[in-house]
Every structure is written in C-alpha cells, then in structure tokens.
Chains A and B, each alone.
Chain A
C-alpha cells in the first residue's frame, strides 16, 4: 500500500479542496440546525413528527381514481391515487402537447401565408396568457357551454358528452390476459424483425418494407387471439338514468370527468406553444446544404426528412422540449383550482388538512415531484444521447 498517497499535502490539489469541504460542512450544519430548530418548535407547540399517519384510514372520498379507492383506505393509498392522477394528466398533456406542438411548429414554417400566420397567432396568444387563467377558461367555458345530462350531445348512441363529463362505453374483456400477452409478443417480434431488417440492409444492402411488416405483426398477432384464442370484447354502453325530477345521470360506462378534460386541454395547448417554437428552431437550425446534399444523392422527400433533417433537428429540439415536459408535469399541480384530484389536491390538500402534518406531507409531495421530474429527465437524456451525433 502506498502511504504517500494519503499524505495531506497543502501545496497541491488539497488546497483547492479545503474551501469546498468547508462549504459542504457549513451547508450540512445549517440544514441540521434548521431541522433541530423545527423539531424544537414543533415540540414546544405540541406537534409530533412522524409518518405513522400514512397507514391511518383517510375517511374521505375522491372523485376519480385509477385504482380501487374509497375513504376506508389509508392515506398512503390516497397518496397513490393522487400520484397516478398526476401522472395520468401529465402523460395525456405531454402526448397532445407534443403532437400539437410539432404540427404548429411545422405549420409556422409553411410557405402558405394563412397557415403560418395562424400558427404564429396561436403561439403568441396561448403562451402569453397565464396558465391558471387558461385552465379556468377551459373549465368554466366548458361547463357553461356543455348541455345538462338529459340533453347530452350524443355520439351514435354509444358516447355522450355533457356537463358532468364525457361518458364512453366500458370495455368488457374475456380472456384479457391472452390478449395482453399477444401484444407483448407482437412488440417483441417487431423489435427482432427491425434488428433483422437492419442487418439485411447493412450486410446485403437489401431494403425490407419494415413499416408495413411491423404493422401487420402488431395488428395480426392480437387479432389471431380473437379468432382462435377465445378472446372477446364487448362494450357496456352508458345508460341514462333519472334520479329525480330534473336530475339525471349516466351509468354503466366510463366517465371522463370534465376536470380532467379541461386540465389536459389547457396544459397541452399552453405547452404546445413552447414545443412549437422548439421544433421551429430545430428545423431552422439544420443547414440548408444538408437537404440539398441529401437530395443530390437521390433520397426521396420523406427520406430526407426522416434520415437527414429530423435526426439533426432533434438534437436541437430535445433538450428544451425536456424542459417543457418537466414544466407541464409541474404545472399540473394547478389542478387543485378546478377540483381535479391530483396529488396536490388530494394529498397536500385534503390529507394535509385532515392530519395537520404539514412538514411531512409537503416534504413527501416535493420529493414526489422531484422524482417525477428526474425520471422524465433521465428518460429524455437517454433519448437525447441516443439521438446525439455519434463520432466514429
């Protein structure tokens, strides 16, 4: 063992290390101090600290939940319901914001004056109005515009839209497991097939119709389970029921509550403006010579976009778009204003109020948002790395 390595040498690197170590030390001390201070003050005021409340019965109900929940479940379960609702609205928001954003971004570059101006107006209007106002607008505008339950907007007698929500048929599956496994199987076979096709192209220069064959696999294999596997699907159509003279309700189907619809709408319309600008910047950032060079070696228009422009544009688009995804997720906490039961409303709202455990609950909520954001970040960084230039 080389002891020399451990010698404390002031003249070298260690000299630079001392201030850093001291800074960390002071920081840790400050944190410890505030923790102790909070504990003392809480002790003086008769407030205990602990997470035991999480297993207690929550005794409040939640409008909308992806998992089985009612007031007899624990606070931890209520937390999970809120978390899943946050993830749901964020995922829907990210999905539509991306589609809308890319469309608008490309539309802004359209040579057609009307289309590009319309896209420009869209961006300027929606990114300059505070999000909370847009959420209120969509929510209360929707509530005021939609008809009452008995006069619902009827979509072919299977789906109904009214002030209480959008009622769609419920899927009733038999042998759902088999169907589910077939989808997994189809996905795996698609992955293997694309690898095989790539090998064929790289080694023999043969172009296989990857897209069509993948599509056939994805549709065909699950379809087979219907034909020979005994999988079947039926729909339970929502039925109107009268509760009293003027109170009606739809039962039997799945209800998508207006809070979710308007929140997802507001979030995606707002975030789409920023994504559109990223997309525009990304496409404009690709050198014009690249397209011309690609055209000169005989690539088709679709191939130019797919193989030359997009890979380079994506490198510019992805990092700022990651920020927008994170913003959207965090902005979903405004849900509390319109009664969408997200984690802030359910956990940092009702649960906090019922238990009075402000420090514990707010810490958990902050950590949850942090982990959510970091997960999105990690995924997008991975995707970014995949898309980055690979120096060879």
Chain B
C-alpha cells in the first residue's frame, strides 16, 4: 500500500513540475506576450497608489481617477478599445516594483520617480514622464519657518518609507549640515496623521503630494509648503524590462495624450478633425499612415485614447487643476507654452 501512495505522490509531483515548466517562459522578442495576455484577459492590469488625490484615487464607489489612472485608461483604450477595461491594484511604495516584475501588474502608474538605479538595476523600464515634480517641505504657518534655511539642528521630519524622498531628505540635510530626526511611515495616511498630531515639525515628499495631502489635514489653512524644491522628481509610468512592444504601446499612449494637446486635439473635436489639413493631426486621429501596425494595433488606437481619455491638458485640468491641488501647471506645461512637456513626433 505504501509504495502505491508513493508512486501517486511522485506522479503528482512530476505533473506539477511539467505544469510549472510551461508557465516559466521568458519574454517574447518580436511578439508581445503582455499584449497577447492583456487581449486574452480583456483588461489592462494597472498598479496604482493607495490613494493620492490627483494621481490615483478611488472614490466611495471604487472608481479610480487621476492623471496616473488616465495613463492606464489610455493603454486600455488603445489595446482593448475601451478605457474602462482596467483592473487597478493599489500598491504601497515598497510593493510596487515587485508587483510589476512578478507580472501581477503590467503597467505601473503610481507617481514613481524615474531614477538611474531603478531603470537600470531592477528589471524595470521607465517609458516617459507624465508629471514633473520636485520634493518640498510643508510646515505649520505659525512655526515662523519661511524657508528651508530656517531649519535647525533637531528638527524632525516625517515622510514615507521606501521612496526617493527618504534619500533626498538625507542628501538635503547633510548638505546643510543639519542634524534631523527622520520618521518614516509605510503609508501616507499615517504620515499625515502623525504630522497633524505634531509628532514632526515638517512633512516632506513630492510637492504635488504635499499639496494633495494638505487637504487631508484637520486645518489645511494652518499649513504651508515652503518655496524651495530640493530634488528633481520626474514621475512616470513603468513597465517590465524585456517586452519592447508593450513598452512602446505604453510610451506612445502617454505621448499621444501630450501630442494631442500640442495640436489642439481634444476629446470633443477629435473625430471631426479626421478631415484636417494638418497631416500631424490626421496621423493622431488615425486618418493617415499606418502607425498602429507597428505595435500590432489597428489604426484608430490613438483616436480612441483622445476620445475616451482626452488629451494631457484635459486630464491635468480635470484631476490636478480643478481639484485645487496645483492650479498652476509650472513645468508640466507644453514646451510651446513655456513648460518642459516635449514628446517625439508620432509619425
């Protein structure tokens, strides 16, 4: 009897081995495995934040909105024809890259700073920038601190763990030769609560984050963001290394939104511009060229993005400006209007 059991066990184990063996394949070179899987599943697997107003935030009924969410919606519109076919996975700062490299998500649109080590070292590829940010400090207005030069030895600073802010903070205080007390929480909500309770004198993170989190404080008007920016934080969507077609799809979904704004194409006028005289506009709305074919998509992919999600300007206005987070676009303005948003031509 015992030996029969053993053979069953062995047989089961070898079945398991074979089954696993098929799952472990690598990334395709020409064909995009991620694209195939996405089409098969019928939705884009998108990693977002656990709630950052303006970037990715869920309302009471579970609908996600924000400019990061719009990147995923654009990809879904391009690939699946429907911007709503997205499955959102809220991730903490430290989970995000593992979730992406392990295949739990296919696009990471979670206000993630593009750095050399992240891009080169841990199996990720940054496809662009959808928000130029920089790290700043928030303090109580009554504190009398009006600039980072007013910080002195012994100041305590709250921030999130597992982010570039932790490193920038150290660089900044070291360069000023200030001894500080760093208090790093895992979730943004706890940082807000601790700062609100007076545990720390200043709260440091990306300036857009500060503006968004300020609204969660018990008395937002008693706090202010200091004018200095201590770091560059180009935030953008990330994909796994090794699937260049998928990488291109995500990159050009974002680029399409920015290019559409540049040419004045928006969600309401896009389809009527098919007859435009400008070939660049015609290419954007799929009336000229065969641009989608390069990714294995049809020719109307970009039109769907503009119609269903809107151009970058619409997205920014809806999520960042109209919500009062950062009414002024600053560097996130088109290069033609004094900002630094500049994308390669779609042709």
Is B a genuine binding partner of A?
yes
Residues of A at the B interface (CB closer than 8 Å) are 15-16, 18-19, 22-23, 26, 29-30, 33-34, 37, 40-42, 44-47, 59-63, 71, 140, 143-144, 148, 163-164, 241, 243-247, 249, 251, 258-259, 336-339, 341, 345, 348-350, 352-358
Determine if A243 and B155 form an interchain contact, defined as CB atoms under 8 angstroms apart: yes
Pairs A–B under 8 Å by Cβ, sample size 10? A46-B241, A61-B166, A63-B182, A163-B198, A245-B143, A249-B155, A251-B153, A258-B199, A352-B94, A356-B121
| A144 lies within 8 A of B197 (CB) | yes
- Which of A22, A245, A357 contacts B142 (CB under 8 A)? A245
| Residue B227 lies at the interface, judged by CB distance under 8 Å to chain A | no
Chain A nearest CB from B29 CB (Å) reads 11
- A251: B residues at CB distance < 8 A: 153-154
Task: Find out whether the CB atom of B161 lies under 8 angstroms from the CB atom of A349.
Answer: yes
> Are A345 and B186 within 8 A (Cβ)?
yes
| Residue contact B186 to A71, C-beta cutoff 8 Å | no
Q: Which of A34, A59, A140, A243 contacts B152 (CB 8 A)?
A: A243
- When distances are taken between beta carbons in the complex, the residues of chain A under 8 Å from B118 are 356
The CA of A148 and the CA of B200, in the complex, are separated in Å by 10
- State A259–B150 Cα separation when bound (angstroms): 27
Q: Taking A23-B9, A40-B26, A336-B186 as given, write out 18 further A-B residue pairs in contact, using a Cβ cutoff of 8 Å, ordered by the A residue number.
A: A19-B6, A22-B10, A29-B13, A29-B17, A30-B17, A45-B123, A45-B240, A45-B241, A47-B122, A63-B183, A164-B198, A249-B154, A341-B184, A345-B184, A348-B94, A350-B94, A353-B93, A353-B94
CA separation between A44 and B26, bound complex, in Å?
Answer: 6
Give bound CA distance, A249 to B201, whole Å: 10
A359 to chain B, nearest CB (A): 9
B161 contacts A350, C-beta separation under 8 Å: yes
A241 to B174, CA, bound (A): 21
Residues of A within 8 A of B337 (CB): none
Smallest CB-CB separation from B96: which chain A residue? Answer: A353
* Whole-angstrom distance between the Cβ of B64 and the nearest chain A Cβ: 23
B347 within 8 Å of A by Cβ? no
The 0/1 profile, CB within 8 Å of A marked 1, for residues 223-241 of chain B is 0000000000000000011
Residue in contact with A37 in the complex, picked from B20, B117, B167, B185, CB distance below 8 Å = B20
Chain B neighbourhood of A358, CB < 8 A: 97-98, 101
Count A-B contacts at CB 8 Å. 171
List, in ascending order, chain B residues with CB within 8 A of A144's CB.
Answer: 197
> B338 in the interface, Cβ–Cβ < 8 Å?
no
Interface set, chain B 122-138, CB cutoff 8 A to A? 122-124
Chain A contacts for B152, CB-based, 8 A = 243-244
> Given contacts A143-B194, A163-B197, are A60 and B2 in contact (CB under 8 A)?
no
Interface size on B, residues (CB 8 A): 65
Tell me the complex Cα distance, A353–B184, Å.
13
- Provide the residues of chain B in CB contact with A22, threshold 8 Å: 6, 9-10
The answer to whether A47 and B161 touch (CB under 8 A), given A148-B198, A337-B190, is no
Say whether B5 faces chain A, with CB atoms less than 8 Å apart. yes
- Which residues of chain B are within 8 angstroms of A353 by Cβ–Cβ distance? 93-94, 97, 161-163
Is the CB–CB distance between A164 and B161 below 8 Å? no
List B182-235 residues whose CB lies under 8 Å from chain A.
182-187, 190, 193-194, 197-199, 201
Cβ 8 A contact of B143, one of A34, A45, A244: A244
In the bound complex, CA of A352 to CA of B101 (Å): 14
A86 to chain B, nearest CB (A): 16
Interface-centre pick from B6, B124, B162 (highest chain A CB count, 10 A): B162
In the complex, A348 Cα to B98 Cα: how many Å?
12
Q: Are A23 and B161 in contact (CB under 8 A)?
A: no
> B293 in the interface, Cβ–Cβ < 8 Å?
no
Which residues of chain B are near A30, meaning CB under 8 Å? 13, 16-17
Residue of A with least CB distance to B93: A353
Known A-B contacts A26-B9, A40-B24, A336-B186; the reply to A46 vs B144 at CB < 8 A is no
Judging by beta carbons under 8 Å apart, are A339 and B184 in contact? yes
Instruction: Tell me the smallest distance from the CB of B57 to a CB of chain A, in Å.
Output: 21
Alpha-carbon distance between A19 and B5 when the two chains are bound, in angstroms: 8
List the B side residues contacting A355 at CB < 8 Å: 121-122
From known contacts A30-B13, A247-B201, A249-B154, infer whether A339 and B6 are also in contact, taking CB-CB under 8 Å: no
Closest partner residue, chain B, to A350 (CB atom): B161
- The distance in angstroms between the C-alpha atoms of A47 and B27, with both chains bound, is 13
| Nearest CB of B to A345, in Å | 6
Which of B20, B122, B155, B194 is in CB contact (< 8 Å) with A339? B194
Give Cα distance in the complex from A249 to B154, angstroms.
Answer: 6
